[in-house]
Amino acid sequence: MEQQPLAVIGLGYVGSVTAASLAARGHRVVGIDRRAPVIDAMSRGVAPIPEPGLEERLARAASLQTLELTTDPSALARCRASLVCVGTPVGADGQLVVDDLLAALDEVARFAPRDHVCVIRSTVPPGLYERARRRLARPDVGLALNPEFLREGSAVADLERPELIVFATEDEHAARFCDALYADQSERLRRTDPPTAEVLKLVNNAWHALKVAFANEVARVTLPVGVDPFAVMSLLCADTKLNTSAAYLRPGMPFGGACLVKDVASITTHAAKHAVDAPLFGSILRSNDAHLRFLVDTVLAHRPKAVAIVGVGFKPGAADVRDSAPVRLVHALLDAGLHVTVADSAVLDARVPPLGLDALRAALGDPRAQAAPDVAHAVAGADLVVVGHPCAEDRAALVAAAPKVPVLDTAGELSRKLSEEDRASLAPVVVLASRR
């Protein structure tokens, strides 16, 4: 028996490319769109959008007779799965408008056969997955999210040769469908949970927008002094170890150290001197301060009286405490009335100024903050342990001490660098964002 076709609901930018590409690769596809002119154009092999390679896929699908196009949603009754690709524009209030998406889900709920899988490709706001489950009200229909990362002008290539494919579901039937759909691209396929998938697309595009804004701001601050911004950005992008890699793109402690704070302050001051509006540069330090306040609130949410902070260098394993974020956290917690003890073997082992114990005591600058000789002494009287920027020795010492109080892992040091067995030996390890 021939396998039931896939439905693609919504034949806009994402849907038309998705339907044509799948059909050109031999999948039987039913494209559904309420707009008759779109159905007519695609039926004649005319792309509804100007996208390189799309008409070639439509022609290939026509020769294979694998693409059916209709305005009738009842065609869903013949389909084993539906890929929902309807638009979710932004409204005047800044929120995504999901009316068309919910209407598509209503059609799936009405017409889909048993054991159907509904895969949402549309960009969605946080919380949509649970809302969609309630809207479907069909326990026999599996639901998944499969955010798209297509760029206009290269959408076909992005779909067929992606760097990353993400799906999320709480239904194993839907998971098996997604695994099978992308079986030929399994090395790029990642499964996650629905809330993460919902946020991922929004974060992706915010990141791309940030990069554009950053480059444009570089232009504005360099041109007044006769520097070619293209040359600057070209050289910046040539460093793929730090500048265009995953380095630094990990939530954790605020940035600190002898360079970042002062250099951001310097370029912000330069912009002001030349009357250049550079709000992005100007907001970096404010954002850094906001994250410190977030960490303070996270600590206070546990209502501790005594806190131990393990690792107070400006980055993991560093002996340098100049402009260290963990030290700033110490001061903020002292201001909140807490007793704070710190431990850092890398700092204590350093002998050359401005490093070492004297530098740490000077940085702490408050007799209420104590520098313990080791991790065991630091955590002994604490009712919350905060993991800042520890060296490997201190991570091991923390496991050995096995404090029976919550451990706040601010930068994922424990989850990334300890075994599951070692983590299990500790009391509940609280990840950065868990304040519940």
Q: How many CA atoms lie within 13 A of 45 on its CB side?
A: 11
| Spatial CB neighbours of 415, under 8 Å, sequence gap ≥ 6 | 409, 423, 429, 431
Position 332 scores a pLDDT of 96
| 298-339 residue pLDDT tens | 999 999 999 999 999 888 878 888 888 999 999 999 999 999
Query: pLDDT band at residue 433, thresholds of 50, 70 and 90?
Result: very low
Domains in the chain and their CATH numbers?
6-192 (3.40.50.720), 291-431 (3.40.50.720)
259 catalytic? Reply is yes
| 92-102 residue pLDDT tens | 898 999 999 99
The two beta strands, 165-169 and 189-192, are parallel
Report how far apart, in Å, the C-alpha atoms of 12 and of each of 47, 197, 269 are: 10, 21, 46
Position 353 scores a pLDDT of 64
pTM recorded for the entire structure: 0.84
Q: Which of 85, 118, 259, 391 is catalytic?
A: 259
List strand residue ranges (DSSP E) for 338-418, in order.
Answer: 339-343, 369-371, 384-389, 407-409
**Tokens 């007799």 correspond to what residue?**
367
